[in-house]
């Protein structure tokens, strides 16, 4: 099994296409063609984690946070980033990062937070807009079914819990090829009329290459008449954060105890909210101050995230803002990835790193 087999599977859950522009995700060190001896999963790829991979004979580290975030002008061991990268190169260990690709994923970081809190009716807190693509194709009526099936196989026509979604309408198409053409119907220089179908279906942009390849391979015309639009719709299966409901409402002090225990937090910083009972809860792993208003607009009684600043807490008059810590909010990512990869590669050892990587100490 090669590294690409593992990363391809991860990208079915968390396509790199949806990572934030500032991020640095994917294979950071190593080659996709390398045979895998073992996989070690970590939240942060420090030098000590690379050493653990060496000792456990794992030549692929799957890390949540990318160890290389900005350009490296030299590889002298002068800081924690370069020391980790040098050690990985020295021992032929590959490093692959998921970060915001997994943040954006349906079933990703914030969904795992909701699972740990046992929330119900969970949905995406901040769904992405302008992500769905709509494909319109004119195809001869005789070839419509074959083309439609090929596009479904390539991943087009999926909407939430539904697949093989499309719309079609029949009409008459006309065309005339020049002297250099090789028309599938009729002859060059003669205008032809054909019974054609306008076939419409949607797809996600990370599938565009395979969808268009299937279209061109299975369409009979030399020149395919098609158009692509980006829809303004929200898409609830790609986005940041989650929101869901506790099975039973809790008093705010009892809820804070639950949060501290669930996330094993050294401390939970919270706002002076007027909320006395907590039922609907929003969550966002990592730095989540940007989504406070989204949590309020969703009607959440509480919002669990990290890295809130002093003035952020003033927004918590009518919502209980809870800062559990950056590491604490994302800690379950290791278990999420281990379970997901192990389900596909059940006969292969997928290990969670035991090295402690939280840089924050509580006294």
The candidate with the shortest Cα–Cα distance to 32, out of 1, 11, 55, is: 1
pLDDT in tens, 202-217: 999 999 999 999 999 9
56 and 142 housed in the same domain = no
Contact 29, 93 (CB under 8 A): yes
152 and 97 housed in the same domain = no
pLDDT in tens, 29-74: 999 999 999 999 999 999 999 999 999 999 999 999 999 998 899 9
Collapsing DSSP to helix, strand or coil, 161 comes out as coil
Gap between the Cα atoms of 46 and 347, Å rounded: 27
294 and 344 housed in the same domain = no
Gap between the Cα atoms of 257 and 265, Å rounded: 10
For residues 136-151, average pLDDT: 97
Sheet holding 226-230, edge to edge: 167-175, 192-203, 133-140, 226-230
The answer, yes or no, to whether residue 128 has pLDDT greater than 90, is yes
Q: What is the CATH number of the domain that holds 291?
A: 3.40.1390.30
Gap between the Cα atoms of 95 and 110, Å rounded: 23
| Stated pTM of the model | 0.93
The answer, yes or no, to whether residue 274 has pLDDT greater than 90, is no
pLDDT, position 348: 86
Contact 124, 191 (CB under 8 A): no
296 and 347 housed in the same domain = no
182 lies in which domain range? Answer: 133-230
Bridge partner residues of 134 (DSSP): 202, 229
Collapsing DSSP to helix, strand or coil, 46 comes out as coil
């Amino acid at each position: 099994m090669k590294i690409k087999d593992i990363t391809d599977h991860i990208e079915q859950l968390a396509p790199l296409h949806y990572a934030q522009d500032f991020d640095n995700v994917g294979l950071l060190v190593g080659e996709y063609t390398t045979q895998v001896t073992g996989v070690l999963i970590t939240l942060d790829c420090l030098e000590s984690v690379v050493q653990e991979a060496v000792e456990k004979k794992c030549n692929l580290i799957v890390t949540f946070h990318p160890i290389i975030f900005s350009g490296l002008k030299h590889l002298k061991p002068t800081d924690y980033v370069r020391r980790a990268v040098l050690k990985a190169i020295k021992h032929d260990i590959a490093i692959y990062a998921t970060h915001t690709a997994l943040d954006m994923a349906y079933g990703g970081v914030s969904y795992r937070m909701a699972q740990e809190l046992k929330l119900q009716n969970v949905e995406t807190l901040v769904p992405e807009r302008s992500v769905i693509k709509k494909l319109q194709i004119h195809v001869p009526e005789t070839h419509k079914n074959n083309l439609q099936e090929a596009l479904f196989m390539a991943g087009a026509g999926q909407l939430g819990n539904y697949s093989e979604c499309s719309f079609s309408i029949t009409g008459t198409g006309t065309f005339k090829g020049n002297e250099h053409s090789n028309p599938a119907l009729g002859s060059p220089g003669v205008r032809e009329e054909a019974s054609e179908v306008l076939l419409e279906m949607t797809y996600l942009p990370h599938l565009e290459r395979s969808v268009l390849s299937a279209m061109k391979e299975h369409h009979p015309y030399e020149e395919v008449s098609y158009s692509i639009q980006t829809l303004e719709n929200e898409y609830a299966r790609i986005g940041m954060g989650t929101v869901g409901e506790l099975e039973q409402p809790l008093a705010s002090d009892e809820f804070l105890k639950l949060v501290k225990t669930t996330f094993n937090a050294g401390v939970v910083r919270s706002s002076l909210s007027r909320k006395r009972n907590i039922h609907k809860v929003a969550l966002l792993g990592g730095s989540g101050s940007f989504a406070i208003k989204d949590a309020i607009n969703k009607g959440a009684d509480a919002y669990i995230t990290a890295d809130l600043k002093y003035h952020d807490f003033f927004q918590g008059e009518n919502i209980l803002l809870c800062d559990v810590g950056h590491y604490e909010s994302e800690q379950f990512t290791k278990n999420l990835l281990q379970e997901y990869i192990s389900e596909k590669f059940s006969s292969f050892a997928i290990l969670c790193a035991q090295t402690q990587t939280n840089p924050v100490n509580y006294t």
